Amino acid sequence: MVVAAILYFIAEINKDTETASVPILALALFGLILSVLGLEVMIALSLAYEHHKTDIIMIFYYWNKMELYRHPKRPVFFVRELRRFYEITIVLFAALSLYYGYEAWEPLELFHDHPLWLLMISAIIFIHIEGFYKLRWEQYFVESWRFTRILRNDTERRYEDWDKWFTGLDFRRKIIEDAESRKKEKKN
């Protein structure tokens, strides 16, 4: 809703072509800041949700009641779609900031005069945001999914010794590595 409001105000301000660029730049920068903060909040909440699911699965595993845990399959992942939304709004407001920033900083006139450059810069910004996400946070999601699948599928109760397997900060990685090494041994 905030994105729509900002875009509406930009369209209204743009009607007055004489003094339009400075207020539009301010709104675009405001939208950019809100989009970056929204992306960070969304990632923090989704990581907390993944951690919460992992804790529930560990409790059921400890009680040997894994049959009680059910997590329905979803056709669309809310986290992924919301992340894409924020990535796109970041790119949109960054592009608007570059496009209308020529009055605040003269070298940005290039983007105002040649919108093709703006499209290329927008693509580069999107690729960098997506790359930063993959380098920084995606590993935690993948590790969490692998850990929960290992516990849900452990019918032999291999990790029942709680003091051995669930100690230290890296117990998830320790269990994942053990499961992978056992999987390799079975193949050989």
Q: pLDDT by residue (tens digit) across 41-83? A: 999 999 898 889 888 888 888 888 877 666 667 666 788 889 9
Quick check: is 73 in a domain?
yes
Please check whether residue 3 is in contact with residue 65, taking contact to mean a CB–CB distance below 8 angstroms.
Answer: no
Long-range contacts of 144-147 (CB under 8 A, 24+ apart): 144/50, 144/51, 144/53, 144/54, 144/172, 146/176, 147/54, 147/172, 147/175, 147/176
Quick check: is 172 in a domain?
no
Quick check: is 183 in a domain?
no
Q: Residue 8 in 3-state DSSP?
A: helix
Quick check: is 83 in a domain?
yes
DSSP H stretches of helix in 64-154: 78-100, 109-113, 115-136, 138-152
Domain residues for 118? Answer: 2-162
Contacts of 147 (CB under 8 A, 6+ apart): 54, 172, 175, 176
Number of domains in the chain: 1
pLDDT tens-digit map of 69-128: 666 676 667 888 899 999 999 999 999 998 888 777 888 788 878 889 989 999 999 999
Quick check: is 185 in a domain?
no
Quick check: is 84 in a domain?
yes
pLDDT of residue 71: 67
pLDDT tens-digit map of 26-43: 999 999 999 999 999 999
